[in-house]
Structure 1
Amino acid sequence: MNIRPSAAIRQNYNEIADLCRETAEPIFLTKNGEGDLVVMDIETYNRREKMLKLREELLSVEEDRMRGSKGYSVDEVTSMMRSAIKEAAGHGAAK
């Protein structure tokens, strides 16, 4: 865990930015010895946001399943995907 005083961002922006990119970890900034901000590079932020969204979607699906929503077997999903591909290919064909 990287912890730096908040003054470090003003004094050493490039160093902190490089450290964020190299470690792909957030840097925690303190103000008067207390936690104040978290800084991370945009790639790490985007990756974390995608992971959080995926987790939310998986949790939602699992909650639906536990409430009794119908699920699909691998064979059913395969069949649906093949049908969708055939349908899409047919619509894209020249007449």
Structure 2
Amino acid sequence: MPRIRPVSDLRNNFAEISKIVHKSKELVFLTKNGYGDMVVMSIEQYENIQQNQEVFMKLKESEHEANNSNERYTHSEVFSNLRMQIRNRPTNK
């Protein structure tokens, strides 16, 4: 169930809202004059959303490329190529 609070609670009950977004990992929706105005979330939750969006975009890109190409690789070819790239990457020493 979404947590909906008036925007004034951000000022008056900041510690409580912070506790909600960090401990329960829930979003808090803030309203102004009865209408949705903002969403408050923890940085961890925001980073998770960003990471999921990045993965989704890369999957969409891969799907698009697969639909426009007949080139396919086996599991062995993919992991062999990745191992080679890891071995050949420059080290920062």
After TM superposition, is the score higher than 0.5? yes
User: Which residue of the partner structure matches residue 56 of structure 2?
Assistant: 55
User: Are 2:63 and 1:82 aligned?
Assistant: no
Q: TM-score, normalised on structure 1? A: 0.83
- In structure 1, runs of 5+ residues without a counterpart are none
Between the two proteins, the alignment pairs up a number of residues equal to 90
Q: State the alpha-carbon separation in 2 of the partners of residues 7 and 69 from structure 1.
A: 57
- In structure 2, runs of 5+ residues without a counterpart are none
User: Which residue of the partner structure matches residue 9 of structure 1?
Assistant: 10
Q: State the alpha-carbon separation in 2 of the partners of residues 85 and 36 from structure 1.
A: 47
Q: TM-score, normalised on structure 2? A: 0.85
User: Which residue of the partner structure matches residue 38 of structure 1?
Assistant: 39
SS in 1 for 2:4: strand
Q: State the alpha-carbon separation in 1 of the partners of residues 47 and 86 from structure 2.
A: 30
User: Which residue of the partner structure matches residue 71 of structure 2?
Assistant: 70
Cα offsets for 1:21-65 (capped at 9, x unmatched): 011121100001100000001111111111111111111111111
- Higher normalized helix content (fraction of residues): 1
How many angstroms does 1:71 deviate by? Answer: 3.1
